[in-house]
A and B are shown apart, each in its own frame.
Chain A
Amino acid sequence: MRNLWAIARRELGAYFVSPIAYLVGAAFLAMMGFFFYTDVIFTVLSRSEPTMRYIFGVMTTILLFVAPVLTMRLLAEEQRLGTLELLLTAPVRDWEVVLGKYLAALVFYLGLLIATGAYPLLLFWMGGNPDIGPILSGYLGMFLFGAALLSIGLFSSSLSQNQVVAAVVGIGLVILLAVASLPADGITNPTLQQILNHIDLRNHLMNFRRGLIDTSDVVYYLSVIAAFLFLTVQILNSRRWR
């Protein structure tokens, strides 16, 4: 456990000295700010109820590209530098390395998410009086959704020594899982249709945005995270039998 914290802390430190993290973080917040601004203008002009639903929708799409970039360095760079050999020959277990890195990415992401908390606060400050339930559950949904994307990104990062390859593979995987339900309507086999609808990463956000916290959605995201972290450990482990 202590090793896990040490690895997570070092990794988080590395985030704050890496220009890419700042760049991606700044770009994410700039884009979110832009869309929030346009949404506020629209809300005021149309005299409709202020909500965060549109913002959450935009964030979902942007995260598909941002999350894999946040995780691309984690294991790819470690393999390129040869430091992975160091970690794996220190008295540290493979899963501690994976979990420590994941935790660092999660904390960084949580920071970005908290920064967007300014938007709902602004809505209140402007006297909009939005419904607070969907905002809170929406944030929980965004956290779980992002956390799932990060686990997929970390998995991609374990596959290559090259950060760019890791990012491209990560974005590919993430998009694939985020649009999995699109072809479902055209499929006649009901089981397959159900499966596609179930594995779609974005489908499980619907309830959260409406203000509903459904255990099955939470379980879904947690299983995705567990599955990809497990796969990542297996990839690191594969050096043993390759």
Chain B
Amino acid sequence: MIEAEGLTKIYGNQVVAIEDVTFRVERGQIVGFLGPNGAGKTTTMRILTGYMPPTRGRARIAGYDTVLQSLEARRHIGYLPETVPLYPEMSVRAYLNFMAEIRGLSNRKAAVERAMALTGLEDRADVLIGKLSKGYRQRVGLAQAILHNPDVLILDEPTIGLDPRQVREIRDLIQELGKTHTILLSTHILAEVQQICDRVLIIHRGRIRADMTLGEALRSRRPDRIFLRVEGGDRQVPEILSALPGVRRVERLEPGVYEIEVANNAREDPSPAIAEAVMRQGWRLLELRPVGLTLEDLFLQVTAQD
């Protein structure tokens, strides 16, 4: 659905915004597009939406080249830019109707009603956009993006500046839309990606540094901390477990609850050895799980290198 091949954008002959960005997003995937500020996320999105052409490389949306078949490609895209593009003096309905018109939709009224229903805007239909709260404006922006039921949705930080309840609502909505649309979603909120995305794409200094499914992203890394709950053993537990290979330190958080720090040079995950040791001692194993295995670690690791 989205194909980027060797996209490079150089501003004013010298500033390289993105370099050789290549990735594909298949139909029905929700992809989280991550990267520090200024890494090239917005530039990439603007190229995909046909706002500007790449200096080198090419991009295709639903099979249409974004430069050579720009208008056709645009018909298959819904785009929510970072600054939600709204006309404050128009009502929600008038605005969506206008967007439906310039998108050349044949059944405008139905499309507008459907988009408002999906984004929960029916009761605000005739309110002026300038009078809406930030959360509602965000929804209007999203309604505009899904108006023509596009194959591809490109969303630039859709939950920024919303309160926790609104964030939840917008996320649920994106997840719902993800069942039928292909979504590229840029965000700084890693928990959001972990919650709703199938895949992550991390861009840093204009280059793609990671492109993997969420499962891979989390599995690819060995846990550096392990959470353990046992019954029995008590004071003996740290002593015995810290002698195991791959364990650096065992911290007793409270009676029966421990956090185990994995040694940097450990060759494999010490969890099986820990479980075995607990059994051997005749203690009862209640819980054993990796902690700190988050996207945040991956993100920091990937973006720390140059």
Interface residues of A (CB under 8 A from B): 2-3, 6-7, 10, 13-14, 17-18, 81-93, 239-240, 242
Residues facing A in B69-92 (CB within 8 A) are 71-72, 74-75, 77, 79, 81-90
* Contact between chains at B103 and A86 (CB < 8 Å): no
Given contacts A82-B81, A82-B84, contact A3 B51 (CB under 8 A): no
* Given A3-B104, A240-B52, residue A89 in contact with residue B74 (CB < 8 A): yes
Contact indicator A17/B89 (Cβ below 8 Å): yes
Q: Can you list, as one digit per residue, whether each of B143-169 has a CB less than 8 Å from chain A (1) or not (0)?
A: 010000000000000000000000000
User: Does B79 contact A89, Cβ atoms closer than 8 Å?
Assistant: yes
Q: Which residues 195-221 of B have a CB within 8 angstroms of A?
A: none
B 82-116 contacts with A by CB, 8 A: 82-90, 94, 98-99, 101-104
Complex-state Cα separation, A18 to B130, whole angstroms = 13
A90/B74 in contact, CB under 8 A: yes
**Contact call B84/A91, Cβ cutoff below 8 A:** no
Which of these, A13, A17, A18, A239, contacts B51 with CB under 8 Å? A239
Residues of A within 8 A of B79 (CB): 86, 89
Interface: B23 (CB within 8 A): no
* A242 neighbours in B (Cβ, 8 Å): 11-12
Query: Chain B, 26-43, contact with A by CB distance < 8 Å: what is the 0/1 string?
Result: 000000000000000000
For residue A195, give the distance in angstroms from its CB to the closest CB of chain B: 34
Q: Does B119 contact A (CB under 8 A)?
A: no
Given known A-B contacts A82-B83, A85-B51, A18 and B101 have beta carbons under 8 A apart: no
Contact residues in B for A6 (Cβ distance below 8 Å):
98, 101-102
* Across-interface contacts of A240 in B (CB, < 8 A): 52-53
Query: Would you call A91 and B75 a contact (CB within 8 A)?
Result: yes
Given contacts A7-B102, A91-B71, A91-B75, contact A86 B85 (CB under 8 A): yes
Q: How far is the CA of A3 from the CA of B98 in the complex (A)?
A: 10
Measured in the bound complex, the distance between the Cα atoms of B71 and A92 in whole Å is 7
What is the bound-complex CA distance between A240 and B46, given in angstroms? 11
Number of CB contacts from chain A to chain B under 8 A = 69
**Residue in B51, B88, B101 whose CB lies within 8 Å of A89:** B51
Contacts of B85 in A (CB 8 A): 81-86
Check B53–A14 contact: CB distance below 8 A: no
Selected from B84, B89, B103, B104, the residue in CB contact (under 8 A) with A14 is: B89
Is B271 among interface residues, defined by CB-CB distance under 8 A? no
B interface majority secondary structure: loop
- Any A CB within 8 A of the CB of B50: yes
* Cα–Cα, bound, A92→B144 (Å): 15
Q: How far is the CA of A189 from the CA of B75 in the complex (A)?
A: 56
Q: Are B87 and A87 in contact (CB under 8 A)?
A: no
**B182 / chain A contacts, CB cutoff of 8 Å:** none
Which residues of the partner chain A approach B144 to less than 8 Å between Cβ atoms? 86
B49 within 8 A of A: yes
What is the bound-complex CA distance between A83 and B85, given in angstroms?
4
Contact of B102 among A13, A81, A84, A92 (CB under 8 A): A92
Query: In the bound complex, do residue B87 and residue A14 qualify as a contact, i.e. CB atoms below 8 Å apart?
Result: yes
Task: Check B49 against A89 for contact (C-beta < 8 Å).
Answer: yes
Minimal beta-carbon separation of B47 from chain A (angstroms): 11
Q: How far is the CA of A93 from the CA of B94 in the complex (A)?
A: 22
Quick check: A81 and B77 within 8 Å, CB to CB? no
* Residue on B nearest A77 in the bound complex, by CB: B87
A144 to chain B, nearest CB (A): 29
Q: Which residue of A lies closest to B74 (CB)?
A: A91
Known: A86-B81, A91-B103. 4 other contacts (CB 8 A): A3-B102, A3-B104, A6-B101, A83-B85
Sample 24 A-B pairs with CB under 8 A, ordered by A number.
A2-B101, A2-B104, A10-B90, A13-B90, A13-B94, A81-B87, A82-B84, A83-B87, A84-B85, A85-B81, A85-B85, A86-B144, A87-B102, A88-B51, A89-B74, A89-B77, A90-B74, A91-B72, A91-B102, A91-B103, A91-B104, A93-B71, A239-B52, A240-B52
Chain B residues, Cβ within 8 Å of A3 = 101-102, 104
Q: Which residue of B lies closest to A86 (CB)?
A: B85
Output the least CB separation between A90 and chain B (Å).
5
With contacts A89-B49, A89-B74, A240-B53 known, is A10 near B103, CB below 8 A? no
A6 to B94, CA, bound (A): 12
6 closest residue pairs by CB, A with B: A82-B83, A86-B85, A6-B101, A83-B85, A89-B49, A91-B74
